[in-house]
Amino acid sequence: MTTHTANEEKRDERFEYLPCNLCGADDYAVVYHAAPPDARKVTSDNYSAASFHILEDQVVKCNKCGFLYINPRPKSEMIVKGYSDAVDETYVSQSEGRLATFKEGLARIEKAYPQKGRILDVGCAAGFFVKTAKEGGWDAYGVEPSRWLAEWGNNNLGLNLKSGTLEEAAYPNNYFDVVTLWDVLEHVPDAAATLKEIHRILKPGGLVVVNYPNIGSNLAKVFGRKWWFLLSVHLYYFTPHTIKKMLEHNGYEMVVHKHHYQKLKIGYLVFRVKPYSKALFKVLNPLVQKLGLADKDVTYYASQSLAIGKKK
């Protein structure tokens, strides 16, 4: 590993160079090098709820606290624009698998917060979790930067989702019992700022629920650079240690940390193999279609973890 500080590097105008979002230090070592600049496509199309544009960016590790993040990265405006403009039919097509995953997620939340109450899903996409929570007896809200997804949820799921960023929604102080971030914290331009804003709108003792791809997991270690969660859309890479620190720095106590299981259709999982191995996809896809497995739900553990923080 080579050590750099941001000001020593030759800078590319399309990118911004950032200090550590966890401890503020501007002192890091490169863990994964970026693809050569000429080979890279830097466009807002890389940013959407279901984007799986494989990582071409540089991943660094903070020398002070060990936090892993993409640095430098495309400017925040481009990232937010990408999410605002996103049209995600592949995301919406996975509604049944997502509903099943969210039912289990809600049950996990109710274990930690049995009294129910007012819940907000940040980056709610088309609102499948909001719908699940509403049916479970919660007063459920959702906010989503993609106008297309929020509108799809409002029209097709009968919800009242807000389109825009969390900050733009400007919810009142001490308003929510629970705020959820399903596959979201690693995508937001400023993870610490998002957790601070959630802290403001949570009631004292309220919960923030975060699931994240765990780069400290054995799967991440075994697959290294080929780990499937190393994506351009994932700006931050948490471990159980750094998520705990991140929660603590922003006013929470971590009260739950566990494996997070997901459900998806087999056909969709096979589709996700394609960017990694066209050869494998060509073998698997006809097989799955022939056996009629494409629409079958599977439960799988793909190195995701769930952390719950309680507002102090």
Q: From 61, 67, 48, select the one nearest 247 (Cα to Cα).
A: 67
The DSSP result for 120-162, as a single string, is EEET-TT-HHHHHHHHTT-EEEEEES-HHHHHHHHHHS---PE
Distance CA 232, CA 51 (A): 9
With the C-alpha atoms ordered 194, 190, 231, 308, is the resulting torsion angle positive or negative? negative
CB of 81 to Zn ion, least distance (A): 28
- Smaller CB separation from Zn ion, 152 or 236: 236
Tell whether residue 20 is a contact of Zn ion (CB under 5 A).
Answer: yes
Member of 18, 49, 62, 188 binding Zn ion (CB under 5 A) = 62
Per-residue x/- track, 25-54, Zn ion (CB under 5 A): x-----------------------------
Quick one: which of 6, 30, 42, 65 contacts Zn ion (CB under 5 A)?
65
Evaluate whether 177 touches 206 at the Cβ level (below 8 Å).
Answer: yes
Q: Per CB under 5 A, does 67 bind Zn ion?
A: yes
Helix (H, G, I), strand (E, B) or coil at 42: coil
64 or 81: CB nearest Zn ion: 64
219 binds Zn ion, rule: CB under 5 A: no
- Candidates 59-67, 159-167, 227-235, 279-287; binding stretch for Zn ion (CB under 5 A): 59-67
How many Cβ atoms are within 10 Å of 36's Cβ, its own excluded?
A: 8
Q: What part of residues 165-194 is at the interface with Zn ion (CB under 5 A)?
A: none
* Complex with Zn ion: residue 68 or 254, whichever CB lies closer: 68
Cα-flanking dihedrals φ and ψ of residue 195, to 5°?
A: -65, -35
Q: Could you give the CA distance from residue 47 to residue 81 in angstroms, rounded to a whole number?
A: 8
Tell me the window of 24-32, 36-44, 93-101, 295-303 that interacts with Zn ion (CB under 5 A). 24-32
Q: In sequence order, what are the beta bridge partners of 178?
A: 119, 207
Binding part of the chain for Zn ion, among 20-28, 45-53, 251-259, 265-273 by CB under 5 A, reads 20-28
How many residues form the binding site for Zn ion (CB under 5 A)?
8
* Contact positions vs Zn ion (CB under 5 A): 20, 22-23, 25, 62, 64-65, 67
